[in-house]
């Protein structure tokens, strides 16, 4: 039976959500991030807390923030803004060690991962590969990983089925294909046949934000106008909504540098 994490478990979800937001975030942003990570049906996440105007999810995240602040893991530096303290950052790292940390450990390096990278002559390509590993790890969830993964696959499968029902010319790739999920060959009067590529992001509830992995970003950069980002929201509802974005990289107007970039920094 699917259900919200316990009050105690919600503390770790809250820590990870704030970490994924770059180390700090407003209350609404934190709630949305936790909800997206959980990938639970709306009837569970949107259920109201008895005797309160907030949802049960929002109520438990509020409780978690309070407990984490008491424990010294979170701070409340401004109205409705919550941030990881240095102790909180260490706790996140202890709970969810990066693949780069594991690599340093395997080669017998006792220093911090950042110091390790700073002392190595690592090529840009190798650094990108290591960052790919970090991204993959940071998207993993702290609880119910197997359940979360199967839910993700189910939501994505439904999204792709919906897209192909709308646009049957798209062909699927193998599972976990790097860079894109769908492709098609379209006829162009000027250039003849042209291959189009599509990355799919799917959400069981309303879409609020999505991420491209480094591989997806590089593929989009390479393919240009031939690359599409399709976002399907409310996948499990009776009326999913499809958002189509051509050449998404060209439409980026701001980059956010999160605290996880410490792992690729030099000092």
152 in the same domain as 241: yes
Confirm whether 264 is domain-assigned: no
Poorest-confidence range of 39-43, 71-75, 238-242, 243-247?
Answer: 39-43
Q: From CA 70, how far away is CA 260, in angstroms rounded?
A: 25
| Distance from chain centroid for Cα 235 | 17
Confidence grade of residue 257 (pLDDT, cut at 50, 70, 90): confident
238 in the same domain as 149: yes
If one counts the domains in the chain, the total is 3
Give the residue numbers spanning the domain of 111. Answer: 97-139
CA distances from 123 to 9, 23, 126, 142, 253 (A): 39, 28, 5, 31, 28
Domain C-terminal end among 139, 171, 202: 139
Beta sheet of 81-84, edge-to-edge order = 24-26, 81-84, 74-78
| Distance from chain centroid for Cα 259 | 15
106 in the same domain as 81: no
Torsions phi, psi of 187, nearest 5?
Answer: -85, 130
Q: From CA 196, how far away is CA 232, in angstroms rounded?
A: 18
Summarised one tens digit per residue, pLDDT across range 89-117 is: 888 877 765 544 544 444 333 334 334 44
DSSP-assigned letter for residue 72: T
- Model's pTM, two decimal places? 0.45
CATH number where 44 lies: 1.10.10.10
């Amino acid at each position: 039976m699917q259900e919200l994490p316990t009050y105690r478990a919600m503390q770790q979800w809250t820590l990870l959500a704030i970490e994924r937001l770059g180390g700090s975030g407003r209350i609404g942003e934190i709630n949305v991030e936790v909800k997206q990570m959980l990938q639970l049906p709306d009837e569970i996440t949107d259920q109201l807390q008895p005797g309160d105007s907030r949802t049960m999810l929002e109520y438990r995240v509020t409780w978690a923030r309070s407990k984490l602040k008491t424990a010294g893991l979170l701070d409340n530096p401004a109205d409705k803004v919550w941030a990881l303290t240095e102790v909180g950052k260490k706790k996140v790292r202890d709970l969810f060690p990066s693949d780069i940390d594991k690599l340093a450990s395997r080669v017998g390096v006792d220093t911090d991962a950042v110091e390790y990278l700073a002392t190595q002559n690592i090529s840009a390509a190798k650094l990108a590969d290591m960052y790919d590993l970090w991204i993959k790890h940071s998207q993993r969830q702290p609880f119910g990983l197997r359940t979360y993964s199967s839910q993700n696959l189910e939501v994505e499968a439904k999204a792709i089925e919906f897209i192909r029902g709308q646009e049957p010319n798209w062909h699927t790739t193998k599972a976990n294909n790097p860079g894109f999920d769908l492709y098609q060959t379209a006829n162009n009067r000027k250039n003849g046949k042209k291959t189009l590529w599509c990355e799919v992001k799917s959400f069981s509830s309303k879409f609020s934000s999505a991420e491209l992995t480094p591989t997806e970003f590089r593929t989009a950069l390479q393919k240009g106008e031939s690359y599409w980002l399709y976002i399907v929201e409310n996948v499990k509802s009776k009326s999913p909504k499809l958002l189509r974005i051509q050449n998404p990289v060209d439409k980026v107007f701001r980059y956010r540098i999160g605290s996880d970039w410490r792992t690729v920094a030099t000092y």
